[in-house]
Structure 1
Amino acid sequence: MAVIRDTSRRRQEISTLVRERGSVQVAPLAERYGVSMQTIRKDLHYLAKRGVAERAYGGAISADAVNVVAEPPVEAKRAISIEEKTRIGALAAAMVVPGESVVLDSGTTTLQIAHHLPDHEDITVLTNDLDILGALARKERLNVVMLGGTLRRRNRAFYGAQTESALSDLHVDKLFLGVDGFDLERGITTHFEPEAILNRKMVKAAGQVIAVTDRSKFGRVCLHRILNVDEIDDLVTDANESDGMQAAADRLGFRLHVA
């Protein structure tokens, strides 16, 4: 593509790109337009001031494509879709049987799975989430493994090289993957880059990948992609017929479980 140094035209094109794709990143845009990354950051700042996009780590997210452009604190997440998350958690927990090892990703929906898991000595649960650890610790027979690392207080979970290293030599039967954004075209995404990196490690360690989310996350796109929707094995959700999830499951090859 020819170098575009006209600022107005470039910003108009970036505005179109961010609306079409849901998110953009600084480095590819700098290469595309033959300008510095600092110039692109100024462009994204300009678009953010006009409500076209919200700045995020390494780029920007479309204000149109994302229902919540900034990650809410965990206290706010707990107050959203409480009944739906409880049903989803109970249904997902019923998928775990004695003899299995599972990973519970951080999140308020996976926390409900922890509450509903059977307290069986032949079930092993790994997690990087401090609140999930607390819920599991109250069970007397369940085997619990905490994945260490650096605490991120915003969502009370651990990330980093130590967390990732703990998964390197492990194989688990099932991963229950929490979701910030679930879009059939753009995939499963998150606000926080270290979380996306860790989640991909979890996916590699798991024999079965089960995404868990309430339907409010459908159509949301966050900056950091974890994996494509066709890479999951199961989806546990509260979808209704208007969401078209059964047709998507048939087309993309995952099993749909509706709570």
Structure 2
Amino acid sequence: MAAVRDTSERRQQISAMVRERGSVQVTPLARRFGVSVQTIRKDLHYLQERGVAERAYGGAIAADAVNVVAEAPVETKRSIHTDEKARIGALAAAMVMPGESIVLDSGTTTLQIALALRDDEDITVLTNDLEIGAALSRKERINVVMLGGTLRRKNMAFYGAQTVASLDDLHVDKLFLGVDGLDIERGITTHFEPEAMLNRKMVQAARSVIAVTDRSKFGRVCLHRIINVEEIDHLVTDEAVTDEVQSASERLGFRIHLA
């Protein structure tokens, strides 16, 4: 289309796109309207101030699509969906083979994987989660690598540039990725931007990406996108999934495992 340089008209069009699509990305918008990415970022900031959109990694999400407005404390997360998380953890742990190296993302579901892992000296586990590290320390044979950084007490896990950099030269067989939100169109999302940045680095380091979540996270969209759903290889969840998720599995090529 022809470049749209009139600020008011461009912002009206971007606003309409956000409402219609649910999310937009900076770089495609800059190409579409023939302006710089800095100009688009100013446009998105303008829309955020007016309650139309919320800024997210690389773009923005419709304000009414962000349906998880607050992150629950880890103590609350531990107390909900406990049976489902235990079943998911046991099934996911059974996917780890001798000789493999894996990453366990922070979270109460991935903690269940740590608890269910067999104590095998041929298994190496990397994690940024303090509680997962403590659980694995009680197993005498598993090799444990803690990804250091700055401790975030809200979920007792490490984040920051140091944490991301620790993965620079590492290659692992599997990443078990916990999620705050999983939406087929808007992807796998989280509340905390440094977590999204670290998770993307984990994805780059892993040969296989396995999302682990109970059904309560389906359809939720948090502010910060980690990856698109088509970037996962497996989804481990509880009981039957929705028709939308089943259809996406067949269309996008990831395999569903029901705990």
SS in 2 for 1:64: helix
5+ residue gaps, structure 2: none
Q: Does the 8 Å CA contact 1:26/1:41 hold for their aligned counterparts? A: no
SS in 2 for 1:168: coil
Aligned to 1:183: 183
Superposition pairs for residues 6-21 of structure 1, below 5 Å?
16-21=16-21
SS in 2 for 1:177: strand
SS in 2 for 1:244: helix
Residues 36 and 182 from structure 1, CA distance in 2 versus in 1: closer, same or farther, beyond 3 angstroms? Answer: closer
Residues 78 and 121 from structure 1, CA distance in 2 versus in 1: closer, same or farther, beyond 3 angstroms? Answer: same
| Pairing 1:44–2:48 present | yes
Letter paired with 1:244:
E
Aligned mates of 2:170, 2:30 — CA distance in 1:
39
Aligned to 1:144: 144
Letter paired with 1:206:
A
| Pairing 1:172–2:172 present | yes
Aligned to 2:199: 199
Aligned mates of 2:40, 2:211 — CA distance in 1:
38
Q: CA deviation at 1:200?
A: 1.5
Aligned to 2:238: 238
Aligned mates of 1:250, 1:102 — CA distance in 2:
26
Q: Does the 8 Å CA contact 1:212/1:236 hold for their aligned counterparts? A: yes
Cα-to-partner distance string for 1:135-163 (whole Å, 9 max, x where unaligned): 11121221111000111222211112211
Equivalent pairs, count = 253
| Pairing 1:90–2:90 present | yes
| Pairing 1:128–2:128 present | yes
Q: Does the 8 Å CA contact 1:236/1:258 hold for their aligned counterparts? A: yes
Residues 187 and 36 from structure 1, CA distance in 2 versus in 1: closer, same or farther, beyond 3 angstroms? Answer: closer
Residues 27 and 255 from structure 1, CA distance in 2 versus in 1: closer, same or farther, beyond 3 angstroms? Answer: closer
Aligned to 1:223: 223
Aligned mates of 2:19, 2:73 — CA distance in 1:
26
RMSD of aligned C-alpha atoms?
2.9
Letter paired with 1:168:
D
Aligned mates of 1:120, 1:23 — CA distance in 2:
44
Aligned mates of 1:75, 1:22 — CA distance in 2:
32
Aligned mates of 1:25, 1:75 — CA distance in 2:
35
Residues 187 and 79 from structure 1, CA distance in 2 versus in 1: closer, same or farther, beyond 3 angstroms? Answer: same
Q: CA deviation at 1:76?
A: 2.3
Task: Say which is worse superposed, 144-153 or 213-222, in terms of deviation.
Answer: 213-222
Residues 170 and 241 from structure 1, CA distance in 2 versus in 1: closer, same or farther, beyond 3 angstroms? Answer: closer
Residues 16 and 39 from structure 1, CA distance in 2 versus in 1: closer, same or farther, beyond 3 angstroms? Answer: closer
**TM-score, with normalisation over the residues of structure 1?**
0.82
Q: CA deviation at 1:62?
A: 3.7
Q: Does the 8 Å CA contact 1:102/1:176 hold for their aligned counterparts? A: yes
| Pairing 1:78–2:78 present | yes
Residues 22 and 154 from structure 1, CA distance in 2 versus in 1: closer, same or farther, beyond 3 angstroms? Answer: farther
Task: Say which is worse superposed, 60-69 or 191-200, in terms of deviation.
Answer: 60-69
Q: CA deviation at 1:250?
A: 1.4
Q: CA deviation at 1:243?
A: 3.8
Aligned mates of 1:106, 1:146 — CA distance in 2:
11
| Pairing 1:22–2:22 present | yes
Q: Does the 8 Å CA contact 1:30/1:40 hold for their aligned counterparts? A: no
5+ residue gaps, structure 1: none
SS in 2 for 1:174: strand
